[in-house]
């Protein structure tokens, strides 16, 4: 097979790395890729949103399967475009991608399907939104309806904050068109987890649960980032959780999408709040999480190319997905200042040595080549992933490798996996 992967981050590097292990894969192209991806795949300088150029490239190079990493191309209809030309592609149609690209759409599907989620209302009129926020006597979350680079959600402590968030999104347009419509919902409390499944239109095969660490500093302090680290699976939350998610959330959602006329294909990523016996959906995404993907790929031991092709063709079965019983972790090395302003262009050292640590892979997220020198070129620079028979072993390897890598302003969180470890130590005492 010839494969085209679309995207430029750590997630796409991890996907290329795993796809490369498939015996059926001949060539891997990545548009646009990055310097790390460039070592294992052929980089193609086409932007992920230039879907006409990507389609023409896929036809010219006889690409047998296209795998889309980020959400933007899905939201603007890359799958519809490829399918019009008979090109196999893994991901949801534009209509089905609304599960992520419109929070109002996702909430309405959940309501129709009876999927547990926070109480909500949708507004196009800022005055009506403000009246609602004042009338509700509970903590609220204000969400821009559309894609806002992960910044469109404001978790509010007070009604004043909710009013300010409504004003920013709807009157001042800080999220552009994405925030002209908002969803206002009840604030939930508990432990956040991410659930992933491969879906072929009707069948969903689980890839398991992972936990992201969004705030920039240890102990979940500081502003939210795209994700500072992740680990998978999450046995500390019990054996039945995945089965309940499947029954209460995944199956009814997929059935509702099919009934509505947009059967879902691709990765279904449910962001969930777990609180005792209660599970609520915070959001759906229609792609792999980043850095969750870099942790999960360390456990995936099936043939990824065959699995994604089967999902694209509506022929997915249990045997396509094999997960090793080990743990996968991912630790992000970021630039000082991220998620705010940061400098780029600092040389990166120690990468080769870090790669020699057993069961470690270092994925590139924001790097560039300046001549022959690898330099920092993003907020998240590298994602150090590791595998281990238990969580502690996987973390030890990841941090050992992370320490070997140096660049000016390097920052990382040292408490990835803390929730699982704390639970374990409480149970041990
Ligand atoms: P979303 O993009 O909808 O997942 O929101 C981003 C983040 O906002 C989530 O990861 C949660 O931390 C937080 N969040 C979203 N909705 C809620 C809610 N209803 N209650 C509490 N926190 C929320
Ligand atoms: N790690 C969060 C996301 O990919 O949306």
| CB-neighbour burial class of residue 179 (10 A; exposed 0-12, middle 13-18, buried 19+) | buried
State the CB neighbour count (10 A cutoff) for residue 355: 14
90, 67 Cβ separation under 8 angstroms: yes
Reply yes or no on whether the pLDDT at 427 is more than 90: no
How many H helices and E strands in the chain? 15, 22
pLDDT per position as a tens digit, 412-422: 999 999 989 88
Res 197: pLDDT = 97
Mean pLDDT on 380-405: 98
Q: How far is the CA of 185 from the centre of ligand 1 (A)?
A: 10
Domains of the chain: 2-91 (3.40.50.20), 119-186 (3.30.1490.20), 191-428 (3.30.470.20)
Q: What is the pLDDT of residue 378?
A: 97
Condensed to tens digits (0 to 9), the pLDDT of residues 70-90 reads: 999 999 999 999 999 999 999
The answer to whether residue 424 scores a pLDDT higher than 80 is no
What is the pLDDT, as a whole number, of residue 425? Answer: 76
Could you tell which of 118, 144, 145, 153 is best to mutate to test the pocket of ligand 1, judged by most ligand atoms within 8 Å of the CB?
153
Closest-approaching ligand to the CA atom of 275 = 1
Closest CA to 284 of 115, 159, 73: 115
Are 89 and 312 a contacting pair, CB within 8 Å? yes
Percent of the chain with pLDDT over 70: 100
Across the chain, mean pLDDT equals: 96
Query: What is the mean predicted confidence (pLDDT) over 275-299?
Result: 97
Ligand 2 atom closest to the Cα of residue 290 is 4
Phi, psi of 122 (to 5 degrees): -115, 135
What is the reported pLDDT for 288? 98
Alpha-helix runs per DSSP H in 277-350? 292-296, 304-312
Give the pLDDT of residue 222. 95
125 has a pLDDT exceeding 80? yes
pLDDT in tens, 138-166: 899 999 999 988 789 999 988 899 999 99
CB within 6 Å of ligand 2 — which residues?
A: 212, 226-227, 285, 289-290, 292
Region of residue 257 (phi > 0: left; psi between -120 and 50: alpha; otherwise: beta): alpha
CA of 242 to the centre of ligand 2 (A): 19
Q: Rounded to an integer, what distance in angstroms lies between the CA atom of residue 145 and that of residue 176?
A: 11
Among protein residues, the one with the nearest Cα to ligand 1's atom 6 is: 153
Report pLDDT digits (tens) over 172-214: 999 999 999 999 999 999 999 999 999 999 999 999 999 999 9
Q: Copy the structure tokens of residue 169.
A: 């999104």
Instruction: Report the nearest atom of ligand 1 relative to the CA of 187.
Output: 20
Q: How far is CA 80 from CA 74, 103, 254, 389, 420, in A?
A: 9, 21, 19, 41, 41
Inform me whether the pLDDT recorded for 238 exceeds 90: no
In short, whether 283's Cβ falls inside 6 Å of ligand 1 is: yes
Model pLDDT, residue 188: 96
Confirm or reject: Cβ of 185 under 6 Å from ligand 1.
yes
Q: Work out the percent of the chain whose per-residue pLDDT is above 90.
A: 93
8 A C-beta contact, residue 286 and residue 269: yes
Q: Residue whose CA is closest, atom 3 of ligand 2?
A: 289
What residue has token string 């020699």?
356
Residue 11 Cα to ligand 2 middle (Å): 10
Query: Collapsing DSSP states into helix, strand and coil, what is residue 122?
Result: strand
- The structure tokens listed for 319 are 């045997």
Peptide bond into 154 cis (omega under 30): no
State pLDDT tens for residues 309-367. Answer: 999 999 999 999 999 999 999 999 999 999 999 999 999 999 999 999 999 999 999 99
What is the model's pLDDT at position 429? 53
Q: Phi, psi (5° rounding) for residue 42?
A: -95, 120
- Which pLDDT score, from 0 to 100, does residue 298 have? 98
Phi-psi group of 425: left, alpha or beta (phi > 0 → left; psi -120 to 50 → alpha; rest → beta)? alpha
Q: Is the CB of 153 under 6 A from ligand 1?
A: yes
Exposed (0-12), middle (13-18) or buried (19+): which is 50, by Cβ within 10 Å? middle
Which residue's CA is the nearest one to ligand 1's atom 9?
Answer: 282
Instruction: Give the ligand at the shortest distance from the Cα of 291.
Output: 2
Predicted pLDDT of residue 423: 82
| Spatial contact of 228 and 338, defined as CB atoms under 8 Å apart | no
**Ligand 1 atom nearest to CA at 150:** 2
Asked if residue 45 lies in contact with residue 32, where contact means CB atoms within 8 angstroms, the answer is yes
The ligand whose atoms approach the alpha carbon of 296 most closely is: 2
The length of the chain, given as a count of residues: 429
Distance (Å, whole) CA 155 – CA 224 = 11
Cβ atoms of 98 and 106 within 8 Å: the answer is: yes
pTM for this predicted structure: 0.96
Q: Is there an atom of ligand 1 within 6 Å of 280 CB?
A: no
CA of 193 from ligand 1 middle (Å) equals 11
DSSP state of 37: G
Is residue 187 within 6 Å of ligand 1 at its C-beta?
yes
The closest alpha carbon to 13, from 52, 53, 94, 69, belongs to 69
Predicted pLDDT of residue 239: 81
């Amino acid at each position: 097979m010839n494969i085209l992967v679309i995207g430029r981050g750590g997630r796409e590097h991890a996907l290329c790395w795993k796809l490369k292990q498939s015996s059926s894969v001949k060539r891997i192209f990545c548009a646009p890729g990055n310097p790390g991806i460039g070592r294992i795949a052929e980089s193609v300088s086409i932007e992920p949103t230039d879907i006409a150029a990507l389609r023409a490239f896929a036809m010219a190079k006889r690409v047998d399967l296209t795998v889309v990493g980020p959400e933007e191309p899905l939201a603007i209809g890359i799958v519809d475009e490829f399918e019009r030309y008979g090109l196999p592609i893994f991901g949801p149609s534009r209509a089905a991608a609304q599960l992520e690209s419109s929070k109002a759409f996702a909430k309405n599907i959940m309501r129709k399907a009876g999927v547990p989620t926070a109480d909500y209302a949708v507004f196009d009129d800022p005055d009506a939104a403000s009246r609602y926020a004042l009338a509700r006597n509970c903590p609220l979350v204000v969400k821009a309806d559309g894609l806002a680079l992960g910044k469109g959600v404001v978790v509010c402590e007070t009604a004043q904050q909710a009013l300010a968030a409504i004003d920013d999104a709807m009157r001042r347009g800080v999220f552009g068109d994405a925030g002209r419509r908002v969803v206002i919902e009840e604030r939930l409390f508990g432990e956040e987890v991410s659930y992933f499944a491969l879906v072929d239109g009707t069948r969903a095969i689980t890839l398991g649960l992972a936990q992201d660490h969004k705030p920039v500093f240890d102990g979940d302090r500081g502003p939210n980032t795209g994700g500072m680290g992740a680990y998978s699976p999450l046995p500390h939350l019990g054996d039945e959780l995945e089965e309940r998610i499947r029954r209460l959330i995944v199956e009814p959602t997929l059935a509702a999408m099919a009934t509505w006329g947009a059967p879902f294909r691709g990765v279904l990523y449910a962001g969930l709040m777990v609180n005792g016996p209660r599970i609520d959906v915070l959001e759906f995404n229609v792609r792999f999480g980043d850095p969750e993907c870099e942790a999960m790929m360390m456990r995936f031991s099936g043939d990824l190319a065959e699995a994604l092709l089967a999902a694209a063709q509506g022929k997915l079965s249990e045997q396509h997905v094999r997960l090793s019983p080990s743990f996968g972790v991912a630790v992000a090395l970021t630039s000082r200042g991220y998620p705010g302003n940061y400098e780029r262009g600092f040389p990166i050292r120690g990468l080769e040595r870090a790669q020699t640590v057993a069961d470690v892979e270092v994925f590139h997220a924001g790097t560039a080549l300046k001549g022959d020198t690898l330099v920092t070129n993003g907020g998240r620079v590298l994602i150090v992933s590791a595998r281990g028979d238990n969580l502690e072993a996987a973390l030890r390897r990841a941090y050992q490798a992370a320490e070997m890598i140096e660049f000016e302003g390097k920052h990382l969180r040292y408490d990835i996996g803390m929730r699982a470890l704390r639970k374990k130590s409480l149970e041990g005492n």
